[in-house]
Structure formats: C-alpha cells, structure tokens
Chains A and B, each alone.
Chain A
Amino acid sequence: MEVSRHWRLKKERYAMVGEVCPHCEQKIFPPRDICPDCGQEARTLFRFSGRGEVYSYTTVYSAPTGHEVNAPYTVALVRLEEGPMVTAQLTDLGEKQVEIGMPVEMVTRRLRAEGESGILVYGYKFRPQLSAS
C-alpha cells in the first residue's frame, strides 16, 4: 500500500539527489522546490557527494514498528560537505567508536520491512569514510 510513496522517493534515497537554488546557490536536501533560504523556486537537480561528518548521534533500543528487528541501531545527524544536514542510520561501524565530527560517507542499505507483506524499503545510511580510517 505504501509502495508508491517509497518509489516516488527513490531518487533522493538511493542517489542523494537534491537541488541547488539558481538564485542563491544554496544546496538543498531533501529536495523541496522552494529554497528555504531565499524563498524562490529551486528545481535544478544536484547530486550530493554523499560525504559529510557526524553532527550528533545516538542509539535506538526501543524501536518503532518496522524497525524492531534492527534494534539497537545508531542514528545520526550528518552535516553533508555541501552544507545541508540529513538524518540517517550509521552502519558498518565495527569496533569504531562514533564521535561528533567523524567523517562518514553514504551507502545504500535496507531501512526497514513494512507491514505483513514485508515491503523492503531501501535508502541511504552512512558509514565511516574508508579513506579516513
């Protein structure tokens, strides 16, 4: 039932495609068509590098419906190189201790299983930057 909703967002979630404002150069993610900075139309697509650093992070133990099997998991606010921030799970951490400022990069992973029919929702997560380790 939610297939179309997730299909609609696949460009953003798989490839980190956002927008750049033609008026003020602001990079925008997630895409929103009206620049939050200058209030003018912004529909020029822009592909983000997927690199950024951890602004803050925490662990979810008591997960909402659809995410229980993954708990506990780490979620973070990631400040992208190009400026915007995203909320995402961190993955492939191994023994690595997460800290504020840690360089991370985007990967595509399964986010959750939805409903009885088990639609799998894929999207971005972030892992420690390989070059930085």
Chain B
Amino acid sequence: MSEMKPSPNAVYIVGIGLTQVAEHWERSLRELALEAIQAARAESPTLQPEALYVANMLSVSLSAQAQLGALLADFAGLRGIEACTVEAAGASGGAALRQAYLALRSGACQAALVVGAEKVSDKVSAEIEAALATASDADFESVQGITAAALAALLMRRYLNETQAPPDALAGFSLNAHANAAANPYAMFRRPIKKEAYARAAMLSEPVSILDAAPVADGAAALLLARGDALPEGSVLPPIRIAASTIAVTAPAIHDRPDPLFLTAAAEAAHRAYQQAGLSAEEVDLFELHDVFTIYAALALEAAGFAARGEGWRLAQDGAIGREGKIPICTFGGSKGRGDTAGATGVYQAAEVVMQLQGRAGENQVRDARIGMAQCLGGSGATAATHILIRDDGL
C-alpha cells in the first residue's frame, strides 16, 4: 500500500454515531439526536463543525416541532452555527448528507454534521399512517385513503403479476434483513426469521404482509464530515471518502409515472453516482438500499443495474444479497430489521457503509469491502438520494 494524501477538496466521513432503533418511550427527539451527534463527534473530537444538516420528515406532523436545525444545534451546544432541516420524506437522510457534501465541496465550510432523527412512538396508528402518507400526492393519492403499505402493495401485486414470480418471491429480502439485524446492536429486531414465518405472516395490505414491511420506530444517527484539507490528525479509523453524491426525482404519485414498476429516480441517481465515482455497478462491494417494503428492494436492485427488469426478486433466491453474495444488501438489517426511521434512514445507511469500509462491522462484516453504496427513497420512489463511499488505500 502506498501512502496517499487526501485530496484537499474531497469530502470525508470522519465520525459516525448511532442510537438503537426502538420505541423509546422515555426519550425525546432531541435526546436521541444528541446521543447520535455526541457519538459522531467523539470519533474526531478536535474537529469543530460549522454547520448541522438535520434529516427529518415527521417532526412537524407528529411532534408539532419545526425548526429542528435550531432546536438540535442549541441542544447539542452548537449555538451560532449554520443549521437547518432537509426534508425529502424517506430520502431526507440522503438529501441532508448531500447538502453537507455540497457545503464542504464548495469550501463554504470545513466540517459539518448531519443528523437524522425521528420520533414516532408518541402517536397512535391512524396519525402515523396519515403522517407517513404526506410523502404521497395529497390531492390525488392521500385523499383516496392511501397508505405507505397500500402503495407498496399496488406495486408488489402488479410486479408479481407481470413477472409471474411465486407469491413468496420477495421472502428472501425479509429473511436476509432479519438475519443481518440479529448481530446489529442498533437494530430493533434481533431474531432471524424462518421462511415458514414469512408464509404465515398477517397481511397489512395484500399482498404486503407484516414481514414485507418495516415497522416505524424512533431513532437517530449522525455523521461528521470534513474536507480533505481539514482532516483531523492522528485518527485511528481511516477517513471514508464520499466518491459520489446524487439526488434525482420523479412524480410523487405512482399514477403519474409512465412505468410504475421502474423506479426512474432511483435509476437516475444510481447511474449518475457511478459516473461521478468513475465506476460501475459490478465494482460496488455492498449496497444499503431502501427496503421499507420488500418490493422496493427488488425494484432498487433493478434500477441500480444489479438485475434486469423484472429479475430483481431472483437475487433474493440464491444468496446473491447475503454477506458472501455477489451484491450484499442491508448488511445490518436494512429498515426491515433495523426498524424504519423514515427521514433518518439515509443517515443510518451511510453510517453502516462507513462501518463496513472501516472493517468494524463485526459479525456483519463484508470481507474486503472497499466500495459501498447507499440509496434511500422518498415515498414510493419519487426522490432518490444515492451516495458512493470509498476507503482509499493508505489514508
């Protein structure tokens, strides 16, 4: 390995912080966010962040709290810095990371924090369903009583019909997620599930069962970023370079998309990311994708070029998505096993990729992982934020 110098205006992740995803009855949004921020800062304690980007979707509707930028900066002892919320529904985490990346890349600041935080457990089910449905087109989808599960079900039923895949074609995504979550101390579910359990699972919205869906829960995750010319000295952990950062969008309503079974925003964001990083899908060692419902895992694999149209489900049949497989996904359990933290998801994903690339994933370690991708989706795929992270040798 040759000694490499960090590129001055490249952007690196130099700290991560995670809280366990759970129903944290006793803890508030700001307390969860603080725990994550402090953990991330502890990994590069000499670095002083100049900005804080908050990823959140549900705080306004469920906690009557806007202005999380100010709230969380203040609570974290960071009064005076630049801070604001970035919202793109389930893609908020990736979108916030992208804003931090742009700020650093431009040289507007040297170090910045990203924190994703959600608090849902204070509310009852109908209110949570309504809050999650705000990701949809309010006037033409939500007014019809649509839910996040129903949208996934509409896509899943059509997908199974068009591909003629068996009814349990997507089971492998759920099994893989739960198997990987078992060793993740931050996951909500720590028990693997069996294929028979998937077949027996209660229906949420046919054909989506509770084992196709990630339950929403509370959680916060944080990232500390620095420019190459501001990397702290003497870090034990190698800095992880953000080699690509992209966002692409399409119509929020499924009915407005010419081909509902192809996630164009996800495809656009992924392919732009490959271009930015100068690599191809085959070179990606692991992919933290959007699996809030199993159907999105299949569609995301197809969109990002890991499977042909209508073939994404096959990757879940033969171990290709497992830790030893061709393209490991959801290596810490994804949203299915970790728990769905809505706007915070993209920050969890990026932190998990960092752990893989730094070789500290424990039992979940993907061998020789050097290039990792993370992609989170807003709603039924209207927004896609994609990041490719690389561990440069010799840094």
Binding site for B on A (CB under 8 A): 5, 9, 13, 30, 36, 55-68, 70, 73, 75-77, 84-89, 100, 111-112, 121, 123
Contacts and interface: CB of A to CB of B under 8 A. Distances in A.
Given A58-B157, A59-B205, A62-B125, A77 B254 contact: yes
A89 B154 contact: no
A123 B158 contact: no
Contacts of B256: 36, 85
8 contacts: A36-B251, A63-B126, A66-B130, A75-B146, A85-B260, A86-B255, A87-B154, A100-B157
Given A59-B205, A64-B133, A100-B158, A88 B144 contact: yes
The winner among A62, A64, A77, A123 for most chain B CB atoms within 10 A is: A64
Given A66-B130, A73-B145, A123-B144, 9 more contacts: A56-B155, A57-B154, A58-B150, A64-B147, A65-B129, A77-B255, A77-B260, A111-B145, A121-B143
Contact of A111 (B129, B144, B251): B144
A75 B157 contact: no
Contact of B208 (A55, A58, A100, A121): A58
Contacts of A87: 140-141, 144, 146, 154, 253-255
Contacts, number: 105
Interface in B121-150: 125-127, 129-130, 133, 139-147, 149-150
A56 B251 CA distance: 18
B134 to A, nearest CB: 10
B204 A67 contact: no
A62 B147 contact: yes
Interface string B242-268: 000000000101111000100000000
Nearest to A68: B126
Contacts of A111: 143-145
Contacts of A68: 126
A84 B205 CA distance: 24
B145 A65 contact: no
Nearest to B129: A64
Contacts of A67: 145
Contacts of A89: 144-145
